[in-house]
């Protein structure tokens, strides 16, 4: 597909900036409203803004019913591809609607009504999507918790959301192991102060579980006796879901997403950012427990009438490094979205891309990357082996859709590799200095967005307006603080380099660890890297690199480290004071693929280590501490970092 000229982007951007009511009123016409908005943007309660106040709709109606009524019921809505169970399931819009309506009746039978909360704690299976849409159908507020979260973290979310019902599965399936969900759920329910009266559990063939009499109900039995539920009208400003994101206090923040603004933003971003059309096949390799899964596994493609691929597998190991290419070929994927970490994992074990050979990926038009900064080397490698544009774009759990991108649907802007693109229509992005005023192009600063935020972004935090203001709106008057640092170039492309905490001060010079990381990751022998700022008595902080080598690399580690130091000195200069790096087996990551840099800093500094609940595998932290100790870090009264064993279930 040829992208429209950049003038379309400029037209949309200026329209949304100069007359947001008119622009978003135009975009709202793509949604089926049960009653129209009284106003497009309500500013009376600023900084708590409302989009499409007075309107009513139903998100499930827009995702399912209206496509069937338009005669598209035979179109495939959902493909579940599960290499861990060796199965592929396809549901048409007719079939999806029937299953969603019936399950909505089942949860209604358990006493769930409009406005009640429902926790969904499930693996990547069709029933997870069905449960989300069923909640939306009857006006219940769903809160999806990533499957496999340990009991204490799930309990925190239960206590905050106070759900009437929990929907779960007997187990999740990963390469080489089965994760029993039910014991984790039972533990959470024991710990939670809020007592949940009912749970609906789907029994998977791989491993079943015991049900608690009087509390737990088998999914199939619940559905068998249920009558299909009709769509319940909800206000555009009513919450659709709560999604928890990590908080600095250890108490997760419940991001609230509304129904109306979310539906409009998802439909617009599917077309404008990703260049999608109805009947396209969109594959987002994420879990529904994360915001990417909410927005682009479920809601955006179904609102537009696309086919969405739900993948229960990994980039490598299910069965090999050719998994992504196989899925693209098997399902004729048109647009693919994943995290840079996934391609780093593939590149590490298959640096020459041999596993891609023989797969036909000609259906693909573009690859989108997000989740953390993508180094140019990884982007170039992916583009080389897929033969399509590779687009890094930037957004957050809080925003639900792209803040910046190269929007293929409204104009290819020629964004340089490494940049996260230009601000999307509706976002007034500024890079601010410590005094809250914009800095010059090329100068690093605090990335903020002028209020009001566009439709689809968070409206508040669940039951905590005060924390919402303190966490996001208090740093700069009239701005949402993103928590990320970066700069604009002369063409107004945004370069998002790191979290604000990852800006380090080296002898008075403010440097981005992301800039150093790009240079390190570009080395021919490096699969991926993380650069952190470690405390230094003389300079305040010094950059330290943790480096994972490509599979098959047999070169002397000391030689590689010396080359990395020389490369950073040449690219950035001696001001970076980059002199130390260690080779590690792997980088610890969250289940969404983000490297846990804050934890790595704590290890390097010898501080008490707070292991995130979202970490995928904490067993490598001790090895990292030992490696860092060899270069003078990770000292805590002469000891390495505390053992992390037992943190994960």
Rounded CA separation 488/246 (Å): 28
Q: How many residues appear in the chain?
A: 649
Residue 329's H or E segment, with its range, is helix 323-331
Residue in the block written with tokens 């088998």: 218
Query: Please, are residues 308 and 302 in contact by the beta-carbon 8 Å criterion?
Result: yes
pLDDT tens per residue, range 512-540 = 787 788 889 999 999 999 998 888 876 77
pLDDT at 91: 98
pLDDT tens per residue, range 619-644 = 788 889 999 999 889 765 433 333 33
Backbone angles phi, psi at 42, to 5 degrees: -105, 115
Provide the pairing of β-strand 87-92 with 56-57. unpaired
Rounded CA separation 392/273 (Å): 11
Rounded CA separation 163/161 (Å): 6
Backbone angles phi, psi at 99, to 5 degrees: -70, -40
Radius of gyration, alpha carbons of the chain: 24
Query: Please, are residues 292 and 310 in contact by the beta-carbon 8 Å criterion?
Result: no
Q: What is the mean pLDDT of the segment spanning 477-497?
A: 94
Go through 433-443 and write b for each residue having 16 or more CB atoms within 10 A of its CB, e for each that does not: eeeeeebeeee
Query: Please, are residues 367 and 334 in contact by the beta-carbon 8 Å criterion?
Result: no
Q: What is the mean pLDDT of the segment spanning 92-111?
A: 98
pLDDT tens per residue, range 123-141 = 999 999 999 999 999 999 9
pLDDT tens per residue, range 180-224 = 999 999 999 999 999 999 999 999 999 999 999 999 999 999 999
Would the pLDDT of 5 be above 90? no
Is residue 401 exposed (0-12), middle (13-18) or buried (19+ Cβ within 10 Å)?
Answer: buried
Detail the DSSP E strand segments found in 246-305: 253-258, 281-284
pLDDT tens per residue, range 384-429 = 999 999 999 999 999 999 999 999 999 999 999 989 999 999 999 9
**Residues paired with residue 255 on neighbouring β-strands, in sequence order:** 243, 461
Would the pLDDT of 455 be above 70? yes
Separate counts of helices (H) and strands (E) for the chain: 20, 31
Rounded CA separation 372/392 (Å): 9
Q: How far is CA 222 from the centre of its chain?
A: 32
Residue-averaged pLDDT of the chain: 91
- Which of 61-75, 275-289, 506-520, 547-561 shows the lowest per-residue confidence on average (mean pLDDT)? 506-520
Detail the DSSP E strand segments found in 513-564: 526-536, 540-549
Q: What is the mean pLDDT of the segment spanning 134-154?
A: 91
Q: What separation in angstroms does the CA of 203 have from each of 144, 149, 206, 445?
A: 18, 19, 9, 50
Rounded CA separation 536/544 (Å): 11
pLDDT band at 448; cut points 50, 70, 90: very high
The three-state secondary structure class of 490 is coil
Query: Please, are residues 302 and 332 in contact by the beta-carbon 8 Å criterion?
Result: no
Rounded CA separation 595/586 (Å): 10
Query: Please, are residues 375 and 418 in contact by the beta-carbon 8 Å criterion?
Result: yes
Q: How far is CA 570 from the centre of its chain?
A: 34
pLDDT at 547: 95
Q: What separation in angstroms does the CA of 11 have from each of 147, 424, 600?
A: 42, 11, 44
Would the pLDDT of 366 be above 50? yes
If you ran DSSP here, which 8-state letter would residue 394 be given? B
pLDDT tens per residue, range 26-68 = 999 999 999 999 999 999 999 999 999 999 999 999 999 999 9
Q: How far is CA 213 from the centre of its chain?
A: 36
pLDDT band at 646; cut points 50, 70, 90: very low
- Angle CA 337–339–342, to nearest 5: 110
pLDDT tens per residue, range 578-607 = 999 999 998 988 776 778 888 888 898 888
Would the pLDDT of 495 be above 80? yes
Alpha helices in 63-113 (DSSP H): 66-67, 93-109
Go through 468-502 and write b for each residue having 16 or more CB atoms within 10 A of its CB, e for each that does not: beebbbebbeebbbbbbbbbbeeeebbbbbbbeeb
Query: Please, are residues 591 and 553 in contact by the beta-carbon 8 Å criterion?
Result: no
Backbone angles phi, psi at 276, to 5 degrees: -80, 150
pLDDT at 219: 98
Q: What separation in angstroms does the CA of 263 have from each of 34, 240, 344, 403, 547?
A: 13, 10, 33, 17, 41
Q: What is the mean pLDDT of the segment spanning 479-506?
A: 87
Residues whose CB is less than 8 angstroms from the CB of residue 557 and which lie 6 or more positions away in sequence, other chains included? 583
What is the CB neighbour count within 10 angstroms for residue 394?
27
Structure tokens at 511: 């440097």
This prediction's pTM: 0.84
Instruction: Name all domains of the chain by residue range, CATH numbers in brackets.
Output: 6-313+393-486 (3.40.50.12780), 501-629 (3.30.300.30)
Which one has a higher pLDDT value, 174 or 24? 24
Query: Please, are residues 458 and 255 in contact by the beta-carbon 8 Å criterion?
Result: yes
pLDDT at 592: 66
Rounded CA separation 352/494 (Å): 31
Question: How many CA atoms, within 13 angstroms, populate the side-chain half-sphere of residue 574?
Answer: 0
pLDDT at 373: 75
Rounded CA separation 495/442 (Å): 9
pLDDT at 16: 98
Go through 166-175 and write b for each residue having 16 or more CB atoms within 10 A of its CB, e for each that does not: bbbbbbbbbe
Go through 293-306 and write b for each residue having 16 or more CB atoms within 10 A of its CB, e for each that does not: bbbbbbbbbbbbbb
Which one has a higher pLDDT value, 77 or 290? 77
Provide the pairing of β-strand 76-82 with 87-92. antiparallel
Query: Please, are residues 628 and 605 in contact by the beta-carbon 8 Å criterion?
Result: no
The three-state secondary structure class of 610 is coil
pLDDT band at 1; cut points 50, 70, 90: low
Span between the terminal Cα atoms of the chain, in Å: 45
Q: How far is CA 499 from the centre of its chain?
A: 15
pLDDT tens per residue, range 335-356 = 999 988 899 889 989 999 999 9
pLDDT at 635: 62
pLDDT tens per residue, range 219-265 = 999 999 999 999 999 999 999 999 998 655 557 899 999 999 999 99
Q: How far is CA 545 from the centre of its chain?
A: 25
């Amino acid at each position: 597909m040829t992208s429209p000229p950049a003038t379309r982007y400029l037209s949309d951007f200026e329209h949304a900036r100069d007359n947001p009511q008119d622009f978003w009123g135009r975009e709202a016409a793509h949604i089926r409203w049960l009653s129209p908005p009284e106003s497009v943007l309500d500013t009376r309660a600023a900084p708590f803004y409302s989009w499409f106040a007075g309107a009513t709709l139903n998100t499930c109606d827009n995702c399912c019913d209206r496509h069937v009524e338009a005669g598209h019921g035979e179109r495939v809505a959902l493909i579940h591809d599960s290499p861990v169970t060796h199965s592929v399931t396809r549901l048409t819009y007719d079939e999806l609607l029937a299953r969603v309506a019936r399950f909505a009746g089942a949860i209604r039978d358990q006493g769930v009504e409009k406005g009640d909360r429902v926790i969904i704690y499930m693996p990547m299976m069709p029933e997870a999507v069905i449960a989300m849409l069923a909640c939306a159908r009857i006006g219940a507020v769903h809160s999806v918790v990533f499957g496999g979260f340990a009991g204490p973290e799930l309990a925190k979310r239960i206590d905050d959301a106070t759900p009437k019902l929990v929907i779960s599965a007997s187990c999740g399936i990963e390469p080489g192991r089965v994760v029993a969900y039910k014991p984790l759920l039972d533990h959470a329910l024991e710990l939670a102060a809020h007592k949940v009266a009912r749970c609906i559990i789907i029994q998977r063939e791989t491993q079943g579980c015991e049900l608690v009499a009087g509390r737990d109900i088998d999914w199939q039995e619940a559905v068998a006796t249920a009558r299909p539920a009709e769509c319940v009208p909800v206000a555009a400003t009513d919450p659709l879901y709560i999604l928890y994101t990590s908080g600095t206090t250890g108490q997760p923040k419940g991001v609230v997403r509304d129904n109306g603004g979310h539906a409009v933003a998802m439909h617009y971003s599917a077309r404008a950012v990703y260049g999608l059309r109805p009947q396209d096949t969109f594959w987002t390799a994420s879990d529904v427990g994360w915001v990417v899964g909410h927005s682009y596994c479920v809601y955006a493609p179904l609102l537009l009438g696309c086919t969405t691929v739900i993948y229960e597998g990994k980039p490598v190991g299910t069965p090999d490094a050719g998994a992504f290419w196989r899925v693209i070929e098997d399902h004729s994927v048109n647009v693919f979205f994943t995290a840079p970490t996934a391609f780093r994992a593939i590149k590490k074990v298959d640096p020459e891309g041999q596993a891609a050979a023989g797969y036909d990926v000609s259906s693909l038009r573009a690859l989108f990357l997000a989740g953390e900064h993508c180094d140019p080397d990884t982007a170039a490698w992916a583009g080389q082996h897929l033969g399509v544009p590779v687009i890094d774009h930037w957004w957050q759990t809080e925003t639900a859709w792209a803040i910046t991108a190269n929007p293929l649907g409204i104009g290819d802007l020629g964004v340089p590799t490494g940049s996260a693109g230009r601000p999307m229509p509706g976002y007034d992005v500024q890079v601010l200095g410590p005094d809250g005023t914009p800095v010059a192009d090329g100068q690093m600063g605090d990335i903020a967005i002028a209020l009001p935020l566009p439709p689809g972004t968070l409206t508040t935090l669940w039951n905590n307006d005060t924390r919402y203001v303190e966490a996001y709106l208090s740093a700069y008057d009239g701005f949402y603080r993103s928590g990320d640092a970066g700069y604009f170039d002369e063409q107004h492309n945004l370069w998002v380099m790191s979290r604000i905490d990852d800006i380090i001060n080296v002898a008075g010079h403010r440097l981005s660890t992301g800039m150093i990381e790009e240079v390190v990751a570009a080395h021919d022998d490096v699969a991926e890297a993380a650069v952190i700022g470690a405390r230094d008595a003389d300079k305040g902080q010094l950059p330290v690199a943790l480096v994972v080598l490509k599979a098959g690399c047999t070169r002397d580690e000391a030689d590689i480290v010396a080359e990395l130091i020389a490369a950073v000195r040449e690219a950035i200069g001696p001001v970076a004071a980059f002199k130390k790096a260690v080779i590690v087996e792997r980088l610890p990551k969250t289940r969404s693929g983000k490297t846990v840099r804050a934890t790595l800093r704590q290890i390097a500094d010898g501080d008490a280590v707070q292991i995130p609940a979202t970490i995928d595998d904490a067993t490598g932290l001790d090895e990292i501490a030992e490696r860092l100790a060899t270069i003078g870090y990770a000292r805590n009264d002469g000891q390495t970092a505390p053992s992390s064993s037992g943190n994960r279930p």
